[in-house]
Amino acid sequence: MGFGLVVCAILAREVARSIKGIDFGWVVAAAYSGFVVWASGVSSSIALTQASHGNTLNIVEKETGQLLPISDTVFASFNWVPTLIVILVMPVVFIAIRPHEDDVQAYVPEPELPSQPVPQSNSPARRMDRSPFFNLFLLAAGIAVVVLL
């Protein structure tokens, strides 16, 4: 989810930068409106934990001894019908709340700072960062964790 939040912010900035005369706040709100339905899809962490056998967060299994399949949660009509309605209604809402031409607050880019050369130090951290052996060690440790657990 954190990745999606960052991507929405970058997307909103780029859209506002490329389309002159568009309200920046409106574009940001539109970009983040996709999160209205984020918990209703197949990436719903609650639905997935309740459908996973042995998951420590699976309260349904702890209490009843049964799993709650995603066909009874995510793909049930009480979930996908409202989600579909929201997906169809949100563009209409954003068209309705679009600011008038005289109320537009356009995106104003920050002035870019002059680039300064990065000082080249020979500190232990810099040597580890450049070392292929250290990076390969980290890669091997990550693979070992995945394989052994």
Q: Is 129 contained in some domain?
A: no
Tens of pLDDT, residue by residue over 54-88, are 999 999 999 999 999 999 999 999 999 999 999 99
d(CA 41, CA 83): 9
Q: Is residue 144 part of a domain?
A: no
The number of folded domains in the chain is 1
**pTM recorded for the entire structure:** 0.59
Asked if residue 54 is part of any domain, the answer here is: yes
Residue 73 lies in a domain: yes
Among 36-40, 49-53, 135-139, where is mean pLDDT lowest? 36-40
CA nearest to 105, candidates 29, 48, 11: 29
- With CA atoms as reference, report the closest residue to 24 among 9, 38, 37: 9
Cα 149 to Cα 146: distance, rounded to the nearest angstrom: 6
Give domain status of residue 86, yes or no. yes
Range of the domain at 66: 2-109
Give the confidence band of 118 by pLDDT, cuts at 50, 70, 90.
low
- Residue 135 is assigned to a structural domain of this protein: no
Q: What is the phi-psi region of residue 50: left when phi exceeds 0, alpha when psi lies from -120 to 50, beta otherwise?
A: alpha
CA distance 137 to 72: 44
Is residue 100 a part of any domain in this protein? yes
Reading the block at residue 63, the tokens are: 């209490």
Q: 66 lies in a domain?
A: yes
